[in-house]
Chain A
Amino acid sequence: MLDRRRFLVGLAAGAAGLLVSRGKLPAFPVPKSLKPGANDKGQKSEIHTMAVVKGASPELATRKAIELIGGMGSFISKGDVVLVKPNIGWDRVPEQAANTNPVVVGTLVAMALEAGAKKVVVADNPCNDARRTYVRSGIADAAKSAGAEVVYMEDRHYVKTNLKGEVITDWLVFRGAIEADKIINVPIAKHHGLGGLTLAMKNLMGVTGGPRNLMHQRLPESLVDLGAFFKPRLTFLDAVRILKANGPQGGSMNDVVQLNTVAASADPVRIEAFGVTLFGKKIEDFPTVDLAEKRGLGTRDFRSTGFIEVDIG
């Protein structure tokens, strides 16, 4: 109830509430526009820390969500090299909800370029054959026509990197993820046999190489290590269609639910926690959320401050 009330009040309270939350979340990067003085022209009600948008058009919903959290310009600076990291893990078509929605990816690429990014790279290290997943997911086409450089993660593109994590230290990492000025993490909300669900931080496994299947043995810890190292500037959850069973690759349309929803925040833990609620599950059953919060990556309390949910029809 407190959350709900704060949500309602928070829309008006805006900036003040944000400043409070900012003090609590040192690792959570705050968009420039949210810094004191940035929004002094009566725009405070338009800037949020997290936006959930429902809409029949994934493009419009994506644009609206980014606009609500301050616009792409508050995350991407002119001249940035940006890595947009969707889930292109599986040889499945968009309707099967195993990969990120291609329209969402294309829209984010376009918006990053509009915001002045020098180059936007779209890539993933898929589980199935990369050529097939790039084509069949629709992402290669969508991202290319939006102006992105779509690349395969070839063997020589991995560099051994110390991730300084609790369980993950020296590991092969896609060079593009290290060279990029900003990472936009674009997961799709899906069921997963081991993690229960695959949401924001699980998607970061796609910038690692090496024997990454070993991460499954201590999955929550590994994922939080990845989240802490890569620190995506923005986490954008695609819940246009979600996969409720037989994840993470699904295959049966019976397991797909069309939600027409997207969520955006700079705080991956909020996205992670919000994602859990989409499946009607309890956040406390997901150790990744707990660990990430303890590591200071964000807050599970996604409705606490600056949360907005709109339906644009």
Chain B
Amino acid sequence: MRNLRRVSQILFFLFFVYLFIQTEYKGRNELGLPVRLFLDFDPLTALSALLASHAARAIFLLSLITVGLTVFLGRFYCGWVCPLGAINTALGYFRMQALKPNRTEGRYPGLRPLKYYILVFVLVSAVFGWNAVGFVDPISLTIRSLAIGYNPAINKIARSVLEAAVAAHVPAVSPAIDALYTKMTGTILSFNQPIFRQSLLIGLIFTAILSLNALAPRFWCRYLCPLGALLGLIGWKQVGARVNNDKEKCISCRKCVVACQGDATPFPPGEWASRECLVCYNCREVCPVDAISITATARDTGDGNVDLARRRLLASGVAALVVVPAVAAVVQRKRTDPSLIRPPGALPEEEFLRRCVKCGECMKVCLTNGLHPTLTEAGLEGLWTPILVPRLGYCEYNCNLCSQVCPTGAIRPVTVPEKQKIHIGLAFVDKNRCIPYAFGRNCIVCEEHCPTPKKAITFLEERAIDEKGATIILKKPVVSPELCIGCGICETKCPVLDRPAIYVTAINESRAQENQLFL
């Protein structure tokens, strides 16, 4: 069974990576694949979004499958399915091998309640309107960390190696690698080298979480993961697979204790903690005397579940009550940040924040690498939610991929024609920097790229003298606030490379009545 569990972990992890890689434009308007599937099956994401937004979505029903199986099997999801669990299992493997049964190192039983307090904190926060679950939900955390932190680095490393091999001009080898490189681009590697703001920070946080495996195997899963906590509470009866350590047979060798992935204390007999059990089958496999059985009919398994101190649970809830208003009382609530340009289809800000789980799917899928995680633009509660940074990438006129991948409807599904009418901001010409205005030379790259059928950027024609003294017709760009949808391609393409001469801010966005420019 342990090997079966390992195969399951590997397959689910590969499936997760496959979906992750497929979270990219593949030649069709519709992605075709349910790339956010792991989020759809995540009951914590659904519950938190439900509590925060009071809006149920049909897709949340999928997570009930996970809940149903958990009632029967306990935290099998952690042991058999979770991609972060798989990574931690692999990284924690060697640590686990080094543990000695007669020592207490590598285990922190006292920390086990911590994840429940984290769970209570995020759920109470959700009730009061702050959807903080995305910071700590393992699926959101993993997708975001891979998309924003690891994927750019992996791509950069792979590309550097391949480029060096191509540039070496080794006969026969370099051309073959060149061809291979082309095949890998847009398949295994991203089509364009991804670049994200806060890449390093988000990557380092994930690295730190993975490094905890050095303290204890699956440290995150045992002591921190709120999804694990939720599943533990749902499945504590674990009616389908209960671990029983036979008192008569047990020789107290403690091998099962150090092999236990969840710190679920299969020894001493009667102390098994069902909420901590990841159904990994390690205990049964390592038991030298076959004292341990895992069956639906097992009796007498006892209850070693740690008591969740009511006072601490309450404290977590109260902490949320204090923190929620504190993070909301930021300046962004008084004045919208001009660079808070949300993707088209994003709900009004308040509702958007209640739903967005910061999973980063929209940023991963964005065709132009224009969506980036916020730092301070949306306040602390909106940390790592998506904004368009038009200097780095624009919103492609005929694309609605971000609305296709959003798991919680923070970006509601919009058709392409619908999307093309949504104003996400408005372009402004900086006349002090715009080449025709400031220097009397023609340019109008912005007008050329403006995608609306009736161009939102037109130009005033004016007679002028050029640098050689000849009379020219100077074309000065002008933006129509009625036609401009704020897609930002003008800013992306503006040849004034450092600080653009045309730029987009969030004002005039369709979703916010309170953020309009005109009467």
Contacts and interface: CB of A to CB of B under 8 A. Distances in A.
A127 B493 contact: yes
Contacts of B452: 251
Given A131-B27, A211-B495, A216 B442 contact: yes
Contacts of A214: 495
Contacts of A129: 25, 367-368, 396, 399
Given A129-B25, A213-B493, A252-B453, A192 B448 contact: yes
A78 to B, nearest CB: 23
Contact of B448 (A136, A156, A194): A194
Given A132-B25, A193-B459, A219 B442 contact: yes
Contacts of B449: 127, 249
Most buried by A among B166, B367, B453, B475: B453
A246 interface: yes
A286 to B, nearest CB: 13
Given A192-B448, A216-B442, A217-B441, A135 B495 contact: no
Nearest to A140: B27
A250 interface: yes
B493 A246 contact: no
B282 to A, nearest CB: 45
A213 B455 contact: no
Given A193-B448, A251-B452, A216 B443 contact: yes
Nearest to B457: A193
B399 A132 contact: yes
Contacts of B178: 156
A156 B184 CA distance: 14
B25 A156 contact: no
Interface string B435-452: 100000111110111011
Nearest to A131: B25
Nearest to B435: A217
A275 interface: no
A214 B444 CA distance: 10
A258 interface: no
B453 A250 contact: yes
B122 to A, nearest CB: 37
A209 interface: no
A154 B186 CA distance: 11
Counting chain B CB atoms within 10 Å of each CB, which of A127, A151, A193, A219 scores highest?
A193
Contacts of B311: none
Interface in B394-437: 396-399, 435
Which secondary structure dominates chain B's binding surface? loop
Contact of A251 (B181, B443, B453): B453
Contacts of A252: 453-454
A154 B475 CA distance: 33
Contacts of A128: 396-397
Contacts of A250: 453
B454 A213 contact: no
A248 interface: yes
A124 interface: no
Contact of B447 (A131, A193, A219): A193
Given A127-B449, A214-B495, A217-B442, A154 B185 contact: yes
B206 interface: no
A152 B25 CA distance: 15
A105 to B, nearest CB: 18
Contact of A91 (B28, B396, B495): B396
B451 A194 contact: no
Interface in A249-272: 249-252, 255
Contacts of B166: 156
A90 to B, nearest CB: 8
Interface string B167-208: 100000000001001100110000100000000000000000
Interface string A217-250: 1010000000000000000000000000010111
A252 B397 CA distance: 14
A129 B396 CA distance: 8
Given A217-B441, A250-B453, A151 B396 contact: no
B163 interface: yes
B25 to A, nearest CB: 5
A127 B182 CA distance: 20
B62 to A, nearest CB: 30
A249 B367 contact: no
Contacts of A132: 25, 367, 396, 398-399
B56 to A, nearest CB: 35
Nearest to B367: A129
A246 B459 contact: no
- Of A135, A151, A213, A217, chain B has the most CB atoms within 10 Å of the CB of A213
A265 B424 CA distance: 46
A312 B75 CA distance: 74
Nearest to A246: B455
B25 A217 contact: no
Interface in A165-217: 192-194, 211, 213-214, 216-217
A91 B455 contact: no
B497 interface: yes
Interface in B280-339: none
A132 B416 CA distance: 14
A172 to B, nearest CB: 15
A129 B493 CA distance: 13
B444 A216 contact: yes
Contacts of B448: 127, 192-194, 216, 248-249
A288 B495 CA distance: 22
Interface of A: 91, 127-129, 131-132, 135-136, 151-152, 154, 156, 192-194, 211, 213-214, 216-217, 219, 246, 248-252, 255
28 contacts: A91-B397, A91-B399, A127-B448, A127-B493, A129-B368, A129-B399, A131-B191, A131-B367, A132-B399, A135-B28, A151-B182, A152-B182, A152-B185, A154-B182, A154-B185, A156-B166, A192-B448, A193-B444, A193-B459, A193-B475, A194-B448, A211-B495, A213-B443, A213-B494, A216-B445, A216-B448, A219-B442, A249-B449
9 A-B pairs closest in CB distance: A251-B453, A252-B453, A213-B495, A213-B445, A193-B447, A129-B367, A194-B444, A91-B398, A216-B443
